[in-house]
Amino acid sequence: MEESQNYQILIFGAKTTGPSHIKKGLPCQDAWLSEVFADDSAVIAVADGLGSAEYSEQGAEIAVAAAVSSIKEHYSAVYEDGSRSKDLTKNDAMIREAFFSAVIEIEKYSGLKNIPKKELACTLIVILIDKNTVSVGQVGDGAVAGELLNGDIQILSRPAESEYVNEVTPITAENLPIKISLNANLKDIVNLAAFTDGCQRAVLIKKDGEYRPFIPFFKPLFKYSDSADDILAASEDVKSLLLSQKMTEVSDDDKTLVIATIKKGR
Amino acid sequence: MTLEEMVEIAHPQQPHCPTILLLDISGSMTIGDKISQLNSGIKAFKEEIETDDLARKRVDIAVITFGKKVEVVSDFTSVEDFNPPELVADGLTPMGDAIKKSLEILESRKEEYKKEGIDYYRPWIFLITDGEPTDMEEGDEKWEEVISAIHTGEKDGKFLFFGVGVDSADMETLKKISPPGRTPIKLKENHFKEMFMWLSKSQAKVSASNMGEQVILDDPLGMNGWGEIPTI
């Protein structure tokens, strides 16, 4: 049975400060965090602090930390009868909760430090890998692309619709529940890559108004991740890629790229 | 082979930043030689934008004039390909039809962007007049149509509408036409060039902005600014 198989999950990635941020003396406003719970499940959170928000790099850090710890609780909580919280909670519900936790933590911090909530505004992508399924929630821009078992490369989560290139809705905006775009329990995914908008124009193309993954980017990237075994070295390679002229000439914004490889059995 | 060498990246088109200059070339623009100041202002605008690497590639400019008739003198084009027209002042002020025309070409431009998969910034409509509309009057059908199109368009985020009054412009009427919350600006005498410099600088800032970035424009009303807000 598939459920009883072991999955090994490898996660690596990097974030880099965009040339335009360096020029303006701004910090990198992207943040990411991941955790592999057992061999067969993991969470990844990626956030991009808005350029218009003064302390958005702090908002982004708070958001990813809160999202990861919210999901982690479900995996560590064991009830008296021995059942685990995560077995009683649907994957999409866990993702939604991760978003609410992120906003609650941002609100708490906003109150504590007396910083208006909007100055902590950021986007957020939360990915939950649970055995052989992947669930993704997203508010704002950036995206997640994935490779299926049959080699197809698809978008698992796309940038939120926004007519203009420099406008985006953050998680701190009103009506969060309706803004979360959710794709739960996607099957047969062997590789995935989550990235912020600084990478978007280099790795996605738009055709007939629809975003599509740029295959000559993802195919080699996933081939690389298939054979990667040293997370630190692989993360360094991602960092070099993000800092390369190839990437910076398309966008001078901060860039984050996180890759997860899900290997079946051993 | 390094990861960097392994991957290829998409070479997307530059995002575009559409701007419409909606210019009054009615007969009265000859008074005080405003028309030649306007002409040299447009030239200076092109030259200035061309000095900015990003804005040069990203700003799309269209010029619509209204005088003897409403005319799309120059449809949307990159600043590089833009030939500043030599405008001649004559006729009345069919501002209502000109505004309608500008919204029309803007919509079709957006459709082209969408079809081509080109990202774009929120468009600017920049209206410059020295009079008042002669093809509509407050309360008539066209007036209602035009005002509602501007006010709802701005409110729905379809564009940003800036009204600039020159010389003897009817600022009271221009205020009613302009979206609530964006008071029209009265151009200081002989400050055409300064205004176009501000416009090019603002467009350069907008076209360099990244996702979610707020653009802070220079204040056109400051000591060294080109305009003032009349308190009539």
Q: What is the rounded distance in angstroms from the CA atom of residue B128 to the CA atom of residue B35?
A: 11
CB A123 within 8 A of CB A139: yes
For residue B25, with 0-12 CB atoms within 10 Å meaning exposed, 13-18 middle and 19 or more buried, which class applies? buried
In this predicted structure, what is the pLDDT of residue A187? 94
Contact call for A51 and B209, based on CB within 8 A:
yes
Q: What is the rounded distance in angstroms from the CA atom of residue B118 to the CA atom of residue B80?
A: 18
Residue type at position A147: E
Q: What is the rounded distance in angstroms from the CA atom of residue A235 to the CA atom of residue B3?
A: 11
Query: Which of B7, B124, B156, B216 to substitute to test the interface with A, most A CBs within 10 Å?
Result: B7
Rg of chain A over Cα atoms, rounded to whole angstroms, equals: 18
DSSP string spanning A18-85?
Answer: -HHHHHHTPPP-EEEEEEEEETTEEEEEEEEE-TTSTTHHHHHHHHHHHHHHHHHHHHH-B-TTS-BH
Let me know if residue B227 belongs to a domain.
no
- Per-residue confidence at B227, pLDDT binned at 50, 70, 90? confident
Question: Among all chains, which residue has been given the structure tokens 């997307």?
Answer: B12
Q: How far out from the chain centre does Cα A156 lie? A: 11
CATH number, position B140: 3.40.50.410
In this predicted structure, what is the pLDDT of residue B231? 55
Let me know if residue B180 belongs to a domain.
yes
Cβ-Cβ contacts under 8 Å between A and B: the total is 121
Q: What is the rounded distance in angstroms from the CA atom of residue B197 to the CA atom of residue A48?
A: 33
Q: What range defines the domain where residue B150 resides?
A: 20-122+130-204
Angle at B28 (CA atoms; ends B25, B32), nearest 5 degrees: 105
Q: Kindly list the averaged pLDDT for each block of 10 residues, start to end, along chain A of length 266.
A: 67 95 91 90 96 92 98 90 88 96 97 95 96 94 96 95 83 87 95 96 86 96 95 97 93 95 76
B60-88: pLDDT as tens digits: 999 999 999 999 999 999 998 999 999 99
Give the nearest partner residue to B7 out of A163, A165, A220, using CB atoms: A220
Q: Does A156 touch chain B (CB under 8 A)?
A: no
Polymer length in residues for chain A: 266
Tally Cβ neighbours within 10 Å of residue B118.
17
CB B183 within 8 A of CB B229: yes
Let me know if residue B85 belongs to a domain.
yes
Let me know if residue B47 belongs to a domain.
yes
Question: Among all chains, which residue has been given the structure tokens 């010389």?
Answer: B167
CB A153 within 8 A of CB A141: no
Q: What is the mean pLDDT of residues B195-217?
A: 80
- How many structural domains does chain B have? 1
Let me know if residue B117 belongs to a domain.
yes
pTM for the model: 0.83
Q: What is the mean pLDDT of residues B1-15?
A: 88
Q: A27 to chain B nearest CA, in Å?
A: 14
Q: A75 to chain B nearest CA, in Å?
A: 34
- Collapsing DSSP to helix, strand or coil, A247 comes out as helix
DSSP string spanning A119-166?
Answer: GG-EEEEEEEEETTEEEEEEESS-EEEEEETTS-EEEEE-PPP-SSTT
Give the nearest partner residue to A216 out of B8, B210, B215, using CB atoms: B8
Q: Does B121 touch chain A (CB under 8 A)?
A: yes
Let me know if residue B55 belongs to a domain.
yes
Higher pLDDT, B210 or A87: A87
CB A166 within 8 A of CB B213: yes
Reading across the β-sheet that carries A122-130, which strands appear in turn?
A: A30-38, A41-49, A122-130, A133-139, A181-187
Contact call for A237 and B2, based on CB within 8 A:
yes
Residue B204 scores a pLDDT above 90: no
Query: Which of B3, B54, B58 to substitute to test the interface with A, most A CBs within 10 Å?
Result: B3
Q: What is the rounded distance in angstroms from the CA atom of residue B132 to the CA atom of residue B151?
A: 18
Structural domains of chain A ordered from first start: 2-264 (3.60.40.10)
DSSP state of A249: T
In this predicted structure, what is the pLDDT of residue B15? 87
B141-182: pLDDT as tens digits: 999 999 999 999 999 989 999 999 998 899 999 999 999 988
